[in-house]
Amino acid sequence: MSSIAFRRRAQLGLLLGPVSLFLAVFFLGPLAIMIVTSFLAPGLYGGVEWTWYRHNYGRILGFADPMFEDFDPVYIAIFLRSLKISALTVVATLIVCYPAAFCISRLSERWKNFCLFLITLPFFTSLIVRLFIWVLILRQTGLVNAVLLNTGVIARPLELIYTDGAIILGMVYIFIPFMFMPVYASVEKLDWTLVRASLDLGAGPIRTFLRIILPLTAPGIAGGAVIVFIPALGNFVVPAILGGAKVMMLGNLIEQQFLAARNWPFGSALAMMVMCVMLVLLFAYVIVSGRRGIDAATGR
C-alpha cells in the first residue's frame, strides 16, 4: 500500500473513529436495548425480568397474558386515534403550506430567501413557548373567548382547548417548517411551460392542476407528509399541553408507562409500534420515490 493511501486511511479513521464510537454506544446501543426490553417481562416493582415475554405486544394487539390481565382494546383505540390525529395534522399542514409555497416560489430571489428565513426561524424557538401561546389564546378565559364574549357573538365560553382540534392546531403550528420545505422544493422546480401548454391545449384550470401540477409536486408532498406524520405520532408535549387529561395519544401513553406506571417493557413495546409505523412509511417512501428520493432527502 502506498504511503498516501495509508495516510488517507489514517485521516479517515481519525475523523470517523470517535463519532462512530459515540453513536454506536449512545445512539444505536440504546435503540437496541429498547428493542430487547420490549420483549422482556415487567418486574414487580417497576424493574425488568430478564425472561422472554411476548405479552407486551399482546396487550396492544390482542393476546394478553392470561395470568395477569385480560386484553383491553383501549390501547389499540389510542393507537388508532393517534394515527387519525397525525393524519389530520398532515392534511391540515399541507393545506396551510401548499398555496403559500406557490406564492413564495414566484417571488424575487431576495424576497424568497427572506420568506424562507421567516418560516424556518420559529423552528429554532422554544417548542414549549410556542405551544403555551395557544393555551393563552384558546383556553376558557383565553383571547378568542374573551373577544367573542365581549362582542356578544356567544353567551358562554366555547370549549376550544382540550379537544382534538386544539391538538391538531398545535401540531400544525409547530410542524409548518417540516411540511413547507419539501413542498416548496418541488414547487420551485415545477416546469411552468408544461402548465401553460396544458392550458393552451384546452385543459381547464382544475384539470391542469390535477393532471400536471399535482403529480409534479407529489414527491414534495409525500416527503412532507412523512416527516410530519412520524413526529406527530410520537408527540406527547402537544397532547399534554393542549389536550388536557381527556385526549390521550401514544406519546402520553408511553410517557405514562415510563414515568408513572413504571412498566418499561410495555412502554418500549408501545415505542416500537411508533418505530414500526415509521419504518413502514419510510419503506413506502423509498419504494415510491426510489434511490434518487433518498439521495434527494439526505442532501446528495
Partner 1 sequence: MKIIASLARGSLIGYTALFFAFIYIPLVLIAVYSFNSNPVNMMTWTGFTTEWYAQVLGFKTAVSESALYIESTDQLVQAVWNSLMIAASTTTIATVLGTAIAIALYRFDFFGRRFYRVVMFMPMLMPDIVLGIALLIFFVNAGVNLGLKTIIIGQCTFLISYVFIVVSARLAGMDRTLEHASADLGANEWTTFRRVVFPQLLPGIVGGALLAFIISMDDLVITYFIAGVDVTTLPMFIFAMLRRGIKPEINAIAVMMLTFSFVVASLGLYLRSRQK
Choose between 71 and 100: whose C-beta lies nearer to partner 1: 100
CB of residue 133 vs partner 1: minimum separation in angstroms? 4
Eight-class DSSP state of 2: -
Start-end of H helices in 45-73:
55-61
- Angle of helix 143-150 versus helix 127-138 axis, rounded to 10: 20
CB of residue 84 vs partner 1: minimum separation in angstroms? 17
Choose between 2 and 126: whose C-beta lies nearer to partner 1: 126
CB of residue 213 vs partner 1: minimum separation in angstroms? 13
Choose between 153 and 259: whose C-beta lies nearer to partner 1: 259
Choose between 20 and 63: whose C-beta lies nearer to partner 1: 20
CB 274 within 8 A of CB 234: yes
CA atoms of 192 and 198, how far apart (whole Å): 10
Choose between 6 and 132: whose C-beta lies nearer to partner 1: 132
CA atoms of 149 and 157, how far apart (whole Å): 7
Q: In whole angstroms, how large is the CA radius of gyration of the chain?
A: 24
CB of residue 146 vs partner 1: minimum separation in angstroms? 6
CA atoms of 300 and 238, how far apart (whole Å): 33
CB 94 within 8 A of CB 183: yes
Choose between 68 and 132: whose C-beta lies nearer to partner 1: 132
CB of residue 272 vs partner 1: minimum separation in angstroms? 9
As a whole number of Å, the end-to-end CA separation of the chain is 31
**Using CB atoms within 10 A of its CB, is residue 130 exposed (0-12), middle (13-18) or buried (19+)?**
middle
CB of residue 208 vs partner 1: minimum separation in angstroms? 12
CB 226 within 8 A of CB 281: yes
